[in-house]
Amino acid sequence: MSADVKTENQPYDEINVTPMLDLAYVLLVVFIILTTASVQGVKVNSPTTDAANNLARPQTRAITITADGAMYLDAYPVTIDQLRTTLGQYKAANPALPVVLKADSAAQYDKVMEVLEVAKRLDINEIGLVTKRQSQ
């Protein structure tokens, strides 16, 4: 017998991990895409109305008030002082700053009034109130 002939029952010396790495990278990419696509903001239960033309422009800043009174500016939690400071910076950069106020229908009225008072003091004139269309 010659030394060049290999037997079929000879064990492998190495394991090819390339297909396993390919699968891991694909799963990682899918996970990243799905998690970033699902983050859209804070969900609240908006009150209903017949007015349906509440379209926001791209530079619009969204202020959200949840049912428990928590405030968010563009999906980031803020206090009323942080809101005043940040909106002041945005207003300095864009004098015609449009703002959309999205409050839960169970939110305390004084929280909504605080936000509107901040907007008034900063001379923000374009304020939209987000509502849902009333089903008929």
Residue 6 backbone phi and psi in degrees, to 5:
-100, 145
| 88-98 tens-digit pLDDT | 998 888 888 88
- pTM, entire model: 0.57
Burial of 86 (0-12, 13-18, 19+ CB in 10 A): middle
Residue whose structure tokens are 């908006």: 46
Q: How confident is the model at residue 79 (pLDDT cuts 50, 70, 90)?
A: very high
Which domains are present in the chain?
A: 48-133 (3.30.420.270)
| 102-111 tens-digit pLDDT | 888 888 888 8
Burial of 130 (0-12, 13-18, 19+ CB in 10 A): middle
